């Protein structure tokens, strides 16, 4: 087994500079602030930070509208601050991956400005144009209800341009070899600056060739191979982590049949069935979703997450399933978004500590790389009075001090949560650090546990037949070391009985309680799970492997 695929057992932490820590006092988070918080991240136990876009931007889509790919937005500091941050992160063993947003630029990018005003400019063909208004001008919007079109008339260019997202985000023409060369330059630049890879934004749309009125769009998967080859030539251990909310049958094409596509991909499908299980107590559809997305390629890997900076997209559930999740987690219309998603944070949806632990324990135990969203480690809430997805983008709550210890400014980029049970006075890092049983300390412990259970990143897995629909049981094996993980989604306790005879595993060692359980005289395991209970066991007589590293 090739053991130096670092991402197999990495624990990632996603954050947006803007709302993490403001040291300059202008109300916007910056690299100096983030650098000061590296020790916090190190103590939490994470080993990879994923940074949301921080390049110069008009900031109309949380930085996903870039106007210069080779810089740092002045609000966040300078390139010097970036390098300093990377250097100090490296010293603590923390890798940094950054967003690669190349499906589109900002309409303020000089390339687009020149493209629209000069037909003969080389940049004209860097974007996607149509002289006529395409019949499908109002089809395929990613943000329905907010975004009105995908083809918009530009008065300066006197043509229609294509934009998969908002109209201030014109799509780049990836069919143009010059655009591809420029994207390589961008990747090369940031790799040279020390990043360990990229979270690639909007992958399915990057792969799509845009032709007006074309119903069957070609997807150029070969372009993913090209990106991967480039990245790997430049830096052997760099990774691509793809954002692709696709159906399970499509996903293997992204990894590439010969592991020549992207290394990691967010598992949106399983994510939605995790929320379904949490909402209904029924774990069976989640087990099916895991099977449907089983990855058989040793070098490829899923990334698992609970919430992120966007809406919780439930678009892959059936209407009936979605309505059940809405009923439990987003009963008010204001909590929903784009007709298919939820714009709340995890803690406010779940509403109790037991279920939060269950959700995170589950995420850490799924076959893949776990990704935590900043603030979830302390159970931060949301602010539904903010527009669209901004509800979940409030500043990190460091302390009970003014502005949650995030900034000294009077006015912030987004207001801190200051009312109700999730207000910074109640929910913050400083307080939780001092409470032994806080969510923050629990999270630190489970991160350490995940890092000790390398079977999850490397091993083979099977769903265990627990006989209880609300209990998901998983068995992992890697190099002779096994793990059994159980999660009960029901509000009541259950005893589960299962059989590991074939695997000759007669003893289970509880990794959290450090107790043992043995099989009965029929060779069956009996485990009692509390309401919303979860248990992690090493199986067999393998306690000597408890701290195996990989
Ligand atoms: C996906 C990102 O997650 C989202 O936040 C952004 O709005 C779109 N891509 C457009 O870049």
Tell me if 208 is assigned to some domain.
no
Which residue among 16, 57, 101 is best mutated to probe the pocket of ligand 1, counting the most ligand atoms within 8 A of its Cβ?
101
Place of tokens 């309409």: 107
Number of domains within the chain: 3
What DSSP element (H or E) covers 516?
Answer: strand 516-518
Sheet order of strands, 129-130 included: 129-130, 159-162, 151-154
486, 510: one domain: yes
Q: What is the pLDDT of residue 259?
A: 87
Point out the domain boundary residue: 418, 451, 484.
451
For residue 425, indicate whether it is catalytic. Answer: no
Instruction: Round to whole Å and give the CA distance between 142 and 350.
Output: 27
Catalytic residue from among 61, 159, 243, 311: 243
Q: Is the shortest distance between the CB of 468 and ligand 1 below 6 Å?
A: no
Point out the domain boundary residue: 451, 478, 511.
451
By alpha-carbon position, which residue is closest to atom 2 of ligand 1? 201
**Is the pLDDT score of 550 beyond 70?**
no
446, 510: one domain: no
Query: Which residues partner with 474 through β-bridges?
Result: 463, 485
User: How does pLDDT run across 139-154, given as a tens digit for each residue?
Assistant: 999 999 999 999 999 9
DSSP character at residue 104:
B
Tell me if 223 is assigned to some domain.
no
What pTM was computed for the model?
0.96
Tell me if 233 is assigned to some domain.
no
CA 352 vs CA 437, 493, 525: distances in Å? 14, 17, 30
Question: What backbone torsions phi and psi does residue 376 show, to the nearest 5 degrees?
Answer: -70, -25
The neighbour count for residue 249, using CB atoms within 10 Å, is 9
Q: Is the shortest distance between the CB of 305 and ligand 1 below 6 Å?
A: no
Q: What is the pLDDT of residue 59?
A: 98
**Is the pLDDT score of 544 beyond 50?**
no
For the CA of 389, the closest atom of ligand 1 is: 5
82, 157: one domain: no
Mean pLDDT, to the nearest integer, of 390-400? 98
Task: Give CB contacts under 8 A, 24+ apart, made by 282-286.
Answer: 282/469, 282/470, 282/489, 283/469, 283/470, 283/471, 283/472, 283/487, 283/489, 284/469, 285/321, 286/472
* Residue range of the domain that includes 135: 110-162
Q: What is the pLDDT of residue 3?
A: 65
The percent of residues above 70 in pLDDT, for the chain, comes to 97
269: which 2 tokens?
A: 């499908």
Tell me if 209 is assigned to some domain.
no
> Which of 181, 183, 165, 158 is CA-nearest to residue 107?
165
Point out the domain boundary residue: 451, 472, 501.
451
Instruction: Round to whole Å and give the CA distance between 49 and 89.
Output: 9
CATH of the domain at 485: 2.60.40.1180
Q: Categorize the per-residue pLDDT at 321 as very low, low, confident or very high, splitting at 50, 70 and 90.
A: very high
Q: Is the shortest distance between the CB of 165 and ligand 1 below 6 Å?
A: yes
Contact by Cβ (8 Å): 60, 147: no
Q: Residue 204 C-alpha to ligand 1 middle, in angstroms?
A: 12
For the CA of 143, the closest atom of ligand 1 is: 7
User: How does pLDDT run across 153-205, given as a tens digit for each residue?
Assistant: 999 999 999 999 999 999 999 999 999 999 999 999 999 999 999 999 999 99
Instruction: Round to whole Å and give the CA distance between 527 and 498.
Output: 9
426, 478: one domain: no
Helices (H), 246-344: 248-255, 268-280, 284-292, 319-329
By alpha-carbon position, which residue is closest to atom 3 of ligand 1? 310
Helices (H), 98-218: 110-117, 177-192, 203-207
Place of tokens 């060369």: 181
Q: What is the pLDDT of residue 549?
A: 45
CATH of the domain at 126: 3.90.400.10
User: How does pLDDT run across 29-77, given as a tens digit for each residue?
Assistant: 999 999 999 999 999 999 999 999 999 999 999 999 999 999 999 999 9
28, 96: one domain: yes
CA 210 vs CA 140, 246, 408: distances in Å? 12, 18, 46
CATH of the domain at 402: 3.20.20.80
């Amino acid at each position: 087994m090739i053991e130096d695929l670092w991402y197999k057992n990495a624990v990632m932490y996603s954050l947006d500079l803007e709302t993490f820590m403001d040291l300059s006092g202008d109300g916007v988070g910056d690299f100096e602030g983030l650098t000061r918080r590296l020790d916090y991240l190190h103590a939490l136990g994470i080993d990879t930070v994923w940074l949301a876009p921080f390049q110069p931007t008009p900031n109309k889509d949380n930085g996903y509208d870039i106007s210069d790919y080779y810089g740092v937005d002045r609000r966040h500091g300078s390139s010097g601050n970036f390098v300093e941050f990377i250097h100090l992160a490296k010293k603590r063993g923390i890798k940094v991956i950054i967003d690669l947003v190349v499906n589109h630029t900002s309409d303020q990018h000089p390339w687009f400005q020149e493209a629209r005003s000069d037909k003969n400019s080389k940049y004209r063909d860097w974007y996607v144009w149509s002289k006529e208004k395409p019949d499908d001008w109002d089809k395929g919007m990613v943000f329905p209800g907010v975004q009105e079109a995908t083809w918009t008339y530009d008065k300066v260019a006197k043509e229609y341009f294509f934009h998969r997202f908002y109209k201030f985000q014109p799509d780049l023409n990836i069919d143009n070899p010059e655009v591809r060369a420029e994207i390589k330059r961008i990747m090369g630049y940031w790799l040279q600056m020390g990043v360990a890879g990229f979270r690639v934004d909007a992958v399915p749309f990057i792969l799509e060739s845009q032709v007006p009125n074309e119903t069957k769009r070609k997807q150029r998967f070969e372009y993913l191979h090209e990106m991967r080859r480039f990245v790997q030539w430049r830096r052997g251990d760099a990774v691509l982590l793809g954002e692709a909310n696709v159906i399970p049958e499509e996903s293997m094409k992204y990894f590439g049949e010969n592991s020549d596509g992207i290394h990691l991909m967010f598992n949106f499908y399983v994510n939605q069935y995790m929320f379904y299980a949490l909402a209904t107590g029924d774990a069976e559809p989640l087990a099916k979703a895991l099977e449907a997305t089983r990855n058989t390629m040793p070098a490829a890997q899923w990334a698992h997450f609970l919430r992120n900076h966007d809406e919780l997209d439930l678009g892959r559930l059936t209407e009936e399933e979605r309505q059940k999740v809405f009923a439990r987690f987003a009963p008010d219309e204001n909590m929903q978004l784009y007709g298919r998603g939820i714009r709340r944070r995890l803690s406010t949806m779940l509403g109790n500590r037991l279920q939060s632990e269950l959700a995170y324990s589950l995420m850490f135990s799924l076959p893949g790389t776990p990704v935590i969203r900043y603030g979830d480690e302390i159970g931060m809430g949301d602010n539904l009075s903010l527009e669209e997805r901004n509800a979940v983008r409030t500043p990190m709550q460091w302390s009970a001090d003014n502005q949650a210890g995030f900034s000294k400014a009077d006015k912030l980029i987004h207001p801190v949560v200051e009312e109700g049970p999730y207000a910074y006075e109640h929910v913050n890092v400083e307080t939780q650090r001092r409470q032994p049983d806080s969510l923050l300390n629990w999270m630190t412990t489970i991160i350490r546990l995940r890092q000790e259970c390398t079977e999850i990143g490397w091993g083979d897995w099977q769903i265990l037949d627990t006989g209880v629909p609300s209990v998901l049981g998983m068995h992992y094996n890697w190099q002779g070391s096994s793990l059994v993980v159980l999660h009960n989604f029901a509000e009541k306790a259950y005893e589960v009985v299962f059989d590991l005879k074939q695997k000759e595993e007669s003893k289970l060692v509880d990794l959290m309680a450090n107790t043992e359980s043995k099989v009965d005289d029929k060779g069956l395991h009996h485990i009692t799970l509390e309401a919303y209970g979860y248990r992690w066991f090493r199986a067999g007589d393998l306690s000597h492997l408890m701290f195996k590293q990989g």
